[in-house]
Amino acid sequence: MIFDTILDTIGNTPVIKIQKLAPEGVEMYVKVEAFNPMSSVKDRLALGIILDAEKRGALKPGQTVIEATSGNTGIALAMVCAVRGYPFVSVMASSFSIERRRLMRFLGARVVLTPPEERATGMVRVTEALAKKHGWFMTQQFENEANPAYHRNTTGPEILQDFADRRLDYFVSGYGTGGTISGVGQMIRQARPDVKVISTEPSGAALLEGKEWQPHKIQGWTPDFLPQTLDRNVAHQNVLVTDQESIDCSKALARQEGIFCGISAGGTFAAALQVAQQAEPGAVILAMLPDTGERYLSTPLFADIPDGPDDAQDLLDDLDD
């Protein structure tokens, strides 16, 4: 396979069948977005938004691009901007994992950190102020219609093609901007009206249920507002998961299926398991896994993973006996 640029490798991610974790009588599949070049679903959004802005003339050659991002969007935009020749500035709360900001800087981006207590709303405020002052282009992932549109044009059709002539009963996804669930969900509802679209949220930040937002550990999921890019009517049902369930499921996917993914992917799979437990026999469930576990080395996902010697070290003592 030979490609003109790295951007041509975005999308067409694999769907993998779950072998051990699915309850008996139910088939579970996961779409592994870690196969994108910067290892998250956000590569799609970044490319979709930049191509759309170029086409509309909203983004001028060499103009600086700025975005408020919890990390994956910034990493993806840093890659896209590097290829297409735009300086990129990312604004993120300092509570997000440090590997994310270092990755962006590695790709040539500049990173502005904001106080975590100001939440996503604070990141957006700083981004707007900087863009206004310097005449920079705001990608506005939470408002930009090119975001769900790109999922309607790529992620949705990929799934429909993979499941053409096959049974599919449930599609499960969390939301950050809502681009994925809205774009994919709309296509699925149109083409396969029998398939149920299931959204999922942190139990402590169940905005779709009208609850108050509380800080949660599922990075990339559910900001402290309902984004414009989220189609609130796309899901048939909403399922709540806890931080701990999400972390546990991410570990279970790694250890039992060899599928290495982040906390939100664990959360989506935890929701898919809840769906599986209630589902009719023979049901087929597909869950989106948004990113790689490698992005979480400094987060609670790896809290109990030692970096010094572990008990395998004792094996050396036995050798001396």
Ligand X SMILES: Cc1ncc(COP(=O)(O)O)c(C=O)c1O
253 with 259: CB under 8 angstroms? yes
Query: To the nearest whole angstrom, how small is the minimum distance from the Cβ of residue 178 to ligand X?
Result: 5
> Considering the rule CB under 6 A, would residue 243 count as an interface residue with ligand X?
no
Which of 13, 139, 140, 180 is in the footprint of ligand X by CB under 6 A? 180
- Is 221 an interacting residue with respect to ligand X (CB under 6 A)? yes
Helix boundaries (H) for the chain: 42-56, 72-84, 98-106, 119-134, 146-153, 155-162, 179-191, 243-252, 263-278, 314-320
CB-neighbour burial class of residue 134 (10 A; exposed 0-12, middle 13-18, buried 19+): exposed
CA distance 48 to 144: 10
Nearer to ligand X, 176 or 202 (CB): 176
Joined together, the tokens standing for residue 223 give 């900001």
Whole-angstrom Cα Rg for the chain: 20
Q: Which is nearer to ligand X, 27 or 201 (CB)?
A: 201
Instruction: Give least dist CB 290 to ligand X, A.
Output: 3
Minimum CB separation of residue 174 from ligand X in Å reads 5
Of the listed 90, 173, 246, 264, which one is catalytic?
Answer: 264
Cβ burial 33-65 (10 Å sphere, 16+ → b, else e)? bbbbbbbbbbbbbbbbbbbbbeeeeebeeebbb
Stretch that binds ligand X, among 109-117, 162-170, 178-186, 313-321 (CB under 6 A): 178-186
Answer yes or no: 196 catalytic.
no
Q: Which helix (H) or strand (E) holds 88?
A: strand 88-93
Near ligand X by CB under 6 A: residue from 48, 74, 176, 293: 176
- Contact between 158 and ligand X by CB under 6 A: the answer reads no
Residues 25-44 binding ligand X (CB under 6 A) are 40-42
- Report in angstroms how near the CB of residue 310 gets to ligand X at its nearest: 28
Choosing from 264, 275, 287, 293, the residue that interacts with ligand X (CB under 6 A) is 264
Residue 72 sits in the site that holds ligand X (CB under 6 A): yes
Which segment (4-12, 121-129, 173-181, 233-241) binds ligand X by CB under 6 A?
Answer: 173-181
Per the residue annotation, which of 31, 42, 196, 217 is the catalytic one?
Answer: 42
Least separation in angstroms between residue 278's CB and ligand X is 23
Among 74, 178, 202, 266, binds ligand X (CB under 6 A): 178
Binding pattern for the stretch 107-126 against ligand X, x by CB under 6 A and - elsewhere: --------------------
> What pairing do the DSSP bridges indicate for beta strands 196-202 and 237-241?
parallel
- Concerning whether 40 is annotated as a catalytic residue, the answer is no
Q: Is 177 in the site for ligand X (CB under 6 A)?
A: yes
Q: What share of the chain is helix, strand, coil (3-state, %, to 5)?
A: 45, 15, 40
193-195-198 Cα angle (round to 5) = 120
Binding span for ligand X by CB under 6 A among 14-22, 59-67, 114-122, 213-221: 213-221
Task: Based on the shown chain and the rule CB under 6 A, indicate whether residue 290 belongs to the binding site for ligand X.
Answer: yes
Q: Assess contact for 127 and 66: CB atoms under 8 A.
A: yes
End-to-end CA distance of the chain: 53
Residue tagged 């990493």 (tokens): 75
3-state secondary structure 243-268: HHHHHHHHHHHHHHHCCCCCHHHHHH
Count the neighbouring beta carbons within 10 Å of the beta carbon of residue 200.
33
Residue number with CB closer to ligand X (144 or 264): 264
Is residue 205 at the binding interface for ligand X, with CB under 6 A as the rule? Answer: no
Residues that bind ligand X (CB under 6 A): 40-42, 72, 174-180, 219-221, 262, 264, 290-291
Q: Give the active site residues.
A: 42, 264
